[in-house]
Amino acid sequence: MYRRIYQTLCLIAFLAFGCNPKNETVDDNAAIVLETEEDWSQDDQEPEETETVGELEQSLIDAGLVDVKDIIPGVFVDLKYSSSDNFFGQDVYGDLYNCYLQTEVAEMLKKAYEHLQKYHPELTFLIYDGVRPLRVQQILWDNLDKPDSIKPLYVADPKIGGLHNYGVAVDLTLAWADSGEALDLGTAYDYFGYPAYPDREDQMLKEGKITQAHIDNRKILREAMKAGGFTGIGSEWWHFNAFSRKKAAELYGLVH
């Protein structure tokens, strides 16, 4: 069709210019701009979009870690330290919005996800944090308003490094697979108090601080993570480790 239009326009141009008996100059406003079929094809092409990787994210990629969603597309990610929705109200990850873990740990999390899908296909994981570079760990340590003797219950001492700093720990909750909306597990993420303690659930239930439904949801999360080879801790229902500190240090280096 474009070729036929082109031929027609050429004929019109010939009649307008070649058949002018007085060889008069044709007004510029009457000139017809001719485009070839190839020109139109180029104009129709949309510019390619390029995704920019930030400095922090590139450093994680260079360290050999993997984006969890590349391994498990069905999970949701909401990095709390890439926002002010955390215990000290500061964004310390900047433009990092993807969760990174060691490859082996991401594969373990995939097994946990498959277990969850088998028994609760309506649910998925909502990930709050994965690898945490030591430079960020220092900020969290400095801003935690607790005595130094208690701080290690919530944040690993950056002088030593914790499992998040090796990329072998993950913070997460349950969410509805169709919407990504988090289930209610009794407390917010990074809640510092007994209602968030798995070790205190019976006591908190008796005191009315959490409900049986909260405990049931936590058990679903724990069972799935256990199936993937993870272990929890006594003070945070959302935190799970793939390895011990000793094993992590043997396998990987601290992520700076």
User: Quick one: CA dihedral 119, 121, 65, 156, positive or negative?
Assistant: negative
- Residue 24 annotated as catalytic: no
Give the up-direction half-sphere exposure of residue 162: CA atoms within 13 A in the CB hemisphere. 24
State residue 153 phi and psi, 5-degree precision. Answer: -65, -25
Given the residues 49, 114, 236, 250, select the one marked as catalytic. 236
Active centre residues (catalytic): 236
